[in-house]
Amino acid sequence: MHDPSDHGAITHVAGIEVGHHSDSRRPTGCTVVMARAGAVAGVDVRGAAPGTRETDLLAPGNLVDKVHAVLLAGGSAWGLDAATGAVRWLEEQGVGLDVGVGRLPLVPAAVLFDLHVGDMKIRPDAAAGYAACAAASRQAPEEGNVGAGSGAVVGKMFGMQHAMKGGLGTASVTVAGVTVGALIACNAVGDVVDPATGLPLAGARTADGQALRDTRRALLAGAPPHPLLAGSNTTIGVIATDARLSKVQAQRLAVAGHDGLARAINPVHTMSDGDTLFTLATGVREQHPGMLVLATMAAEAVARATVRAVLTARALHLNDGLRLPCHADMVSTGG
């Protein structure tokens, strides 16, 4: 596995800021990845149960070529309301597309399902999105149980009682003076695995809860999965680069990023996941090493950020009895 002490951050990309809002009333929240000057954007939706906003405008054949932020949130479809708050904050800052009578901020969004963790009536709203923008900075963002990763859970294939805490992670790689970073909120039904070995780092646990079950091997051995509520899992994230890209190239980078999810999550892109990745290209660097290299960098950054999401997660114990250990717990118990 890549050295976790040298993981970088999406904010290493020039022109990118990140802000979180975490709701203290229950584990949920939202995260904004902001490009105030505008960024050429793309998206690729692979999961079969996505919850998204403003993704159609990112199609390469459509008119708008730049957006001003991407909003990631918990709360399932209710959480999309957080993007409205981000739009309001950006408008107040004078950020947005000039439409003659004012500036219109463009903020695509995606959500994950965290309604089984705590009181589902508490979910990110417009005020949460506004607060995330107000908290945004160029500093390396906090990881783990924060923002959109606050209520994230992984390894739910055999029931929530055997699952573990997911979270939010970030990473970046730099080649030839160009940086590609990723920020991932991981709420996958599958396990998060070490890309180098394929062995699970966090995911479904054994019946006694003391060890990792290895979902892939269990399914191939004939273990029946627990009945899953469609759309109750999702990994969402943003890839950012300072390279100058067209909309077609930005969309291709989002496609390549899903290779990183496939390296770090098993199984991934299931009928119960809404896996969605966005790209933001700030264009600060005019020259770049070519799309083949950038695509390789995107996949690597996504894989590393996904691993960070579980390495930095903290255990969660709720009043209703739900216990979600984290990666560190399993290491300490020898699991």
What distance lies between CA 127 and its chain's CA centroid?
21
From the candidate CATH numbers 3.40.50.2300, 3.40.50.740, 3.60.70.12, 3.40.190.80, the one assigned to the domain spanning 4-332:
3.60.70.12
In tens digits, the chain (335 residues) has pLDDT values of 444 457 999 999 999 999 999 998 999 999 999 999 999 999 999 888 899 999 999 999 999 989 999 999 999 999 999 999 999 999 999 999 999 999 999 999 999 999 999 999 999 999 999 999 999 999 999 999 999 999 999 999 999 999 999 999 999 999 999 999 999 999 999 999 999 999 999 999 999 989 999 999 999 999 999 877 666 889 999 999 999 999 999 999 999 999 999 999 999 998 888 899 999 999 999 888 999 999 999 999 999 999 999 999 999 998 788 899 999 998 665 55
33 within 8 A of 39, measured Cβ to Cβ = no
* Domain boundaries along the sequence of the chain: 4-332
Rounded to whole angstroms, how far apart are CA atoms 141 and 154? 21
Tell which residue, 55, 48, 127, has the closest CA to residue 84: 127
Tell which residue, 304, 61, 265, 271, has the closest CA to residue 174: 304
